[in-house]
Structure 1
Amino acid sequence: MSTILQVESLTKTFQSGHRQIKVLDNINFTIAEGQSMSIVGPSGSGKTTLLGLCAGLDRATEGRILINQVLLNQLSEDELAQLRNQQVGFIFQNFQLIPTLTALENVMVPLELRGEKNIISASKELLNRVGLSDRLDHYPSQLSGGEQQRVAIARAFSNRPKILFADEPTGNLDEETSHSIESLLFELNREQGTTLVIVTHDPDLAQKTDSIIKLKGGKLI
């Protein structure tokens, strides 16, 4: 299996007043195509910052990140956006659905941005796959938390990402709903061969992934 994500000597600092705060310090790891990985650690350890850097949502202060052999550091903002649209999926703890769009329309957005054809039927198929065929015309405010996260998962998989980043995907859900969302993520991960990188506080979810990395104080331990 070839490496899909390569992180080398990754450091991220923020300016706070007159001092610099080092949020991530010399992080190194790789993950192979089709594998799953958890990033765990206490609050404030840099997990979400690391995920955002790996997904190309932010830029590192030092070090290198490669997705599918493409060096993110050298890409312009437009090129980064194009790479995310073509190869990366992202699932957030708070769903990040567009409130004025229906479930179907939310899933259609990435496909429209890619200029794909048959986007209505493809989006309906994805929502059916996540068990929401009877919720196509519902707005996010009309859906439960679990249903909103299912829409978010369908949207994330709509562009058939090579790698999917999930930030506390079950953090706002009850235990029963969390288990069904976890099962769905791993099923789609296997079916599509998508690499899965999850930030989680849930030790049970972390144990289900192929590998676990732990952060503490911005360092890999």
Structure 2
Amino acid sequence: MRTLPILTAALALAPVTTCVNTKRVPPPRSLAIQQIRQAPVGSSGSVAGVVTVASGTFDGGFAVQDATGGIYVTAPADSSRYAAGTLVSITGTTSNPQNQLAIDPGSIQVLGNAELPSPRLIRTGRVKEGSEGLLIQVRGRVTGEVLDDRPWGWKLMLDDGSGALLVFVDAQSGIDVSAIRPGQWLQVTGYSGQYEQHREILPRTPSDLHPLPRP
């Protein structure tokens, strides 16, 4: 049976011993996040990045980003938690829960701290596959009522004229949506994600939502 390819650049080879000497292979190097995103689901490798979505914001997982891209990391088996701004190295295998690419971590190492990347400003209708995993920012008009989708959260649609985008406000985020009204203009910063067939932005904290004056 054909198996999914493994990213050999991120795997350590066992030391090779001969009767003359021992050749030691250096430890695995980290791949760019964009590299592991482009590999087939089920590939294994190591990436390093800064945490942009802290553990517990949406669930037990978190998100990381480097200069090339971002990706979600599913909840570690040991329930460890990682704060935004923590620089981590993750070794694991990619998966695709609800059509959103993620890494199922086998091991996580804290490397230190780093500045959070600036969110990428994107038009609402341009939030596509290329932005998935990144910290992004959108601005637009609320096109309908806020939909109560508890216990998971709330949904609203935002449109800047380029196409509507789903804003999913997770119930664990602590964001109050009670004052949001149709026709209101908002700036939303958050994680560019996907759930099933829907592209969405997920704000992380109350400060990720800002009312804007009507243009």
TM-score class normalised by the smaller sequence: under 0.3
Normalised TM-score (structure 1) = 0.23
Structure 2 length-normalised TM: 0.24
Question: Which one has the bigger helix percentage?
Answer: 1
Asked which structure has the greater RCO (Cα within 8 Å, sep 6+), the reply is: 1
Larger strand fraction of residues: 2
